[in-house]
A and B are shown apart, each in its own frame.
Chain A
Amino acid sequence: MGIRIVPADAWIDPARPVATALVTHGHADHARGGHGRTIATPETLAIMQVRYGMEADSAVRAAPVGYGETLALPGDVRATFYPAGHVLGSAQILLEHAGERVVVTGDYKRRADPTCPPFTPIPCDVFITEATFGLPVFRHPPIAEEIGKLLAALHGHPERCVLVGAYALGKAQRVIAELRAAGYHAPIHLHGAMERMCRLYQEHGVDLGDLRPVADSTKAALQGQIVVCPPSALSDRWSRRLPDPIAAMASGWMRVRQRARQRNVELPLVISDHADWDELTATIEDVNPHETWITHGREEALLRWCQLNQRRARALALVGYEDEDD
């Protein structure tokens, strides 16, 4: 249930309420409500506020830390937050204690993302990394290619619409921002569950262009349009209101055909906010730690890679972090 910082009596991304929690980012499997004190970036705290609401005394209980800022914790532990490039507000956390440096990545990626600052390798002794896509079959293609596929499908079927299933926090906004960057400026229509998070991104200065609730448009008006919804809504009854939607899904899992077919996806878009195999291994080389600990994902394969490359590593086998939709 998270990583415990013993001398500081604090936890990173705990699954249950604790007295002091350091939260890497706002995804539900990492950020839970109900902690005594929540230490996170201002953006992550804002996301948690939207997701869980926070009690009236939240000002006391939420402790914002900016990127590069160092916070002194009890037990002579210093914690510094650095960008992880995963979603808005996401951070890796450097812990320093008794001359030793430990970096906890949380979830991260190395690719450019217009919605958040990029990951920076922080030298350390112990590198605690995720391994969601820790199999050598996972290599995410350049996002421009995937956005190109989406636009080609859209233009190829003017009588249909493209329904993009994307994680409501992070993935959806990144896809929208990348569409804008590719020159697509028509309105993009949102499932109700997407609206608040998109607004929050916009309030934090991420330009997402003209966004409209699906409910405001007729079926006919949605022909030739892009609609974004949570993955669970792709084959839900909700989608019947759309004009013969092309079911697309933006996820790193789409790299594997069978996973896409299981989801009834017609247009798989290999877009992930996690590091792929090459990024995971390159990051371990960049950081060059004495030891690598692997928190969650397909840790066996990454462990094997470390072994083959004479790097000390161990799997923590943390349960509860699984990104089925990412």
Chain B
Amino acid sequence: MERFAALLDALVYTRSRTAKLGLIARYLQETPDPDRGWALAALTGGLDFPAVKAGTVRALMAERVDEVLWTLSRDYVGDTAETASLLWPEPQGVILPPPGVTEVVETLHHATRLTAQGILAGMLDRLDANGRYALLKLATGAMRIGISARLAKVAFAQAFGVSVDEVEEYWHGQAPPYRPLFDWASGAAPPPRTDLLPLFRPFMLAHPLEDVEVSLSDYAAEWKWDGIRVQLVHVNGQSRVFSRSGDDISASFPEIAAALDVPAVLDGELLVRGSHQGGEQGGAASFNALQQRLGRKAPGRKMLADYPAFVRLYDVLIEAGEDVREWAWEQRRARLEALVPRLDGERFDLSQVIPARDMAELAEIRGRARDEAIEGVMLKRRDAPYVAGRRTGLWYKWKRDPLLVDCVLMYAQRGSGKRSSFYSDFTFGCWNGDPDAGAELLPVGKAYFGFTDAELKWLDSHVRQHTVGRFGPVRETDKSLVLEVAFDSVHASKRHKSGVAMRFPRIARIRADKPAHEADRLATLKGMITDPA
């Protein structure tokens, strides 16, 4: 338990992602089974002890600490597990050796509501303050230490020199303490079987097309639709919809999960019916429409009727028990084209291949993409297999050129980690009228990337020299600096005072040469909105 407690402690105080990965990876390498598996489960939210609730800890403390002192302490510390770990009386007399992670997990698995308090107390008496913190965090299942499941998996891959995509693939369907996963990763066993479970397979991803010559004889072109990438899985009568990150979002899109009844693993774009993208023929509403559905755990009937979802299919990974990922794209495409007619046409259609003869014609078609409100085009190598992750030369995304607008820097906030001494998060605005006739700046967006290290240094010193107000970590500047901001699209938004929300804004250029009153007006930005109002 001490080693796990030290890991948690170090993770709490480490900001850098690389350093966090290193800490977890080293722990996984150096810790024996099954301790490391249980620890990994704790970090990824894979442990659940129904007998232990937050109330269990409070009840435990009520027997040992005056209620007023507990409340004062809890209010100050802000975390029940931490407060309890600090308040727990240091054990006196003969102290048993601290319990290991496995002992803790097995003991808690056997606990009942009646015995949980006594069991916890016995183990707390064998630990120091850090160990008590780790125990209570592990027992209550609420880590909240800023480690995502993905980060833990990347660390696992790093620890054993395997690919994170394979880890993702084999992870699903495994239960803690993940012994088969560790055996496979350390080379002691073949990978666990995954073909009979509705599991997520890692996505194949694209590189941006920059300075690369490609020919349409080697690559096929498809539209890049502006929805969210999903993977559909149907096996053994069970259906799942997975997001890019591998999260199961079936409950948010029940109509999709219900409509899929063919055993297959498919790759596509989740969209809402409409005529915004590509007109009537395109059949898809804007990303904004889809946004109404995202994050709704259980959409109501009206939501389902007003924003009907469907999936535009890009690829097939597995069909009828046959894994076709090794096949060339052309063969998979033929398989997909044969499959689509067997699917529910209301919920599934096929992403069409763009019939361009050469890149010049494709460029012309892509040039019209903005009018069609489509994000851009995809180029897929005709002979490439479906491989996890971003592999050079196989898939390219050729986004339409970004939109640009000149904004004025209004506020800046310090970053974190390596950027903690830099003002690196910038809020910028546009004029709500004629600046010479008393118009004001209204914030239109926020960006914290797009600039080089040298530009960041320059921006940081600009902020420091032009500060006119301070609000905690935020500085207000004198609004003299123009920034050229690039973004993918802009939408009407009721949540922002300016009435607009940008997608993917980034700082394209510092326009120190341009006077602030010549920056763009809000009307210009609003003119770039293509959604129906």
Contact = CB atoms under 8 A, between A and B. Distances in A.
A72 interface: no
Interface in B350-364: none
B72 A304 contact: yes
Nearest to B460: A237
Interface residues of A, number: 27
B83 interface: yes
Contact of B76 (A235, A261, A266, A298): A298
A137 B86 contact: yes
A261 B420 CA distance: 12
A266 B65 contact: no
B73 interface: yes
B129 to A, nearest CB: 8
B87 A137 contact: yes
B82 interface: yes
A235 B15 CA distance: 13
A266 B78 CA distance: 20
Interface residues of B, number: 24
Interface in B232-250: none
Given A255-B86, A257-B82, A136 B69 contact: yes
Contacts of B65: 136
B77 A258 contact: yes
B83 A304 contact: no
Nearest to A247: B420
A264 B66 CA distance: 33
B465 interface: no
Contact of B416 (A137, A257, A264, A308): A264
A300 B420 contact: no
B79 A236 contact: no
Interface string B46-73: 0000000000000000000110110011
B14 interface: yes
Contacts of B77: 137, 256, 258
Contacts, number: 65
Given A255-B86, A258-B77, A258-B79, A301 B420 contact: no
Contacts of A137: 73, 76-77, 83, 86-87
A240 B78 contact: no
A264 B76 contact: no
A266 B15 contact: yes
B525 to A, nearest CB: 34
Contacts of B86: 136-139, 255-256
B66 A258 contact: no
Contacts of A308: 66
Contacts of A264: 15, 416, 420
Nearest to B9: A257
A266 B14 CA distance: 6
B471 interface: no
B12 interface: yes
Given A239-B421, A301-B69, A258 B13 contact: no
A304 B13 contact: no
Contact of A301 (B15, B73, B79, B83): B73
Contact of A135 (B14, B15, B73, B79): B73
Contacts of A305: 69
A240 B422 CA distance: 10
A128 to B, nearest CB: 21
Given A138-B86, A240-B421, 16 more contacts: A136-B86, A137-B73, A139-B86, A237-B421, A256-B86, A257-B12, A257-B13, A258-B77, A258-B78, A260-B13, A264-B416, A267-B13, A298-B72, A301-B68, A304-B72, A308-B66
Nearest first, the 3 closest Cβ-Cβ pairs linking A and B are A137-B86, A137-B73, A301-B72
Interface of A: 135-139, 235-237, 239-240, 255-258, 260-261, 264-268, 298, 300-301, 304-305, 308
